Chains A and B, each alone.
Chain A
Amino acid sequence: AIQMTQSPSSLSASLGDRVNITCRASQGIRNDLSWYQQRPGKAPKLLIYDASSLQRGVPSRFSGSGSGTDFTLTISSLQPEDFATYYCLEGYSTPRTFGQGTKVEIK
């Protein structure tokens, strides 16, 4: 199985900050990666698919980049509703693997 190493596991940031979250795959996965946001007690929500495509209805302050083994989710200007946990998910092979998650907290 492919291993997905997500970092950091948590971060504290202020409103308006730029935030970067990274995922590294244990082998090349082309651009087969998606990003999800999960608020407490809620189901995950798709933000980015195919590494850099913005899901319909997701604010443009979210963006994704990368290919091969290294990927980044960027929030350009943190808003109150963005405080949540974020996960990456590889879509290259089964069994599929999520990153461990990054909890974004208010500084």
Chain B
Amino acid sequence: EVQLVESGGGLVQPGGSLRLSCEASGFTFNMYAMSWVRQAPGKGLEWVSVISGSSDSAYVGDSVKGRFTVSRDNSKKTVYLQMNSLRVEDTAVYYCAKTKYQLMLDAFDVWGQGTMVTVSS
């Protein structure tokens, strides 16, 4: 069964850091780009980042540029989102998602269950 399991969410103060993890199973992990998508409480979906299967390309959205970094460890079948200088507006459920094919701009055919990040003093 293809599965993504996120972890690492929690409560953090403004200006703090968190690292989210997403462990994959059931598919050849290093062949697929992986993305992070977030959803603030009661709001819509926001694309956050993408990383290629080989890690040679990675992008983050404008709202998190310079603060968030995406990386992956193919030996551990895990993708990470390092979040620094967190702001109240980063409060959201963070989902990781697998691309349907191998391109970075493909549709997301598998999603994790999400991990909640709350930034508050």
Type the 1/0 row for B56-81, where 1 means its CB is closer than 8 Å to any CB of A.
Answer: 00011110000000000000000000
**Contact A93 to B47, CB < 8 A, known contacts A43-B114, A45-B111, A46-B100:** no
CA of A44 to CA of B46 in the docked complex: distance in angstroms?
12
Task: Give the docked Cα–Cα distance between A51 and B95 (Å).
Answer: 23
User: B62 is contacted by which of A1, A36, A45, A46 (Cβ under 8 Å)?
Assistant: A1
Whether, in the assembled complex, B26 has its beta carbon less than 8 Å from a beta carbon of chain A, the answer is no
A8-61 with Cβ < 8 A to chain B: 32, 34, 36, 38, 43-46, 49-50, 55
Interface residues on B, range: 20 to 34
Min CB–CB distance A96 → chain B (angstroms): 4
Q: Which of B8-16, B83-91, B102-110 lies at the binding interface?
A: B102-110
Q: How large is the interface on A (under 10, 10 to 19, 20 to 34, 35 or more residues)?
A: 20 to 34
Q: Which residues of B contact A34 (CB under 8 A)?
A: 107-108
Considering the chains assembled together, what is the distance between the CA atoms of A43 and B62 in angstroms? 23
Q: Taking the nearest CB of chain B, how far is it from the CB of A51, in angstroms?
A: 10
Which of the residues B45, B50, B62, B109 comes within 8 Å of A98, measured between beta carbons? B45
Query: Inside 8 A of B59's CB, which chain A residues have their CB?
Result: 94-95
Please judge, given known A-B contacts A95-B59, A96-B105, whether A87 and B113 are in contact too, CB under 8 Å. Answer: no
21 contacts between A and B (CB under 8 A): A1-B62, A32-B105, A43-B111, A44-B37, A44-B95, A44-B108, A46-B100, A46-B109, A50-B107, A55-B107, A89-B107, A89-B108, A91-B106, A92-B105, A93-B105, A94-B104, A95-B47, A95-B61, A95-B62, A96-B35, A101-B44
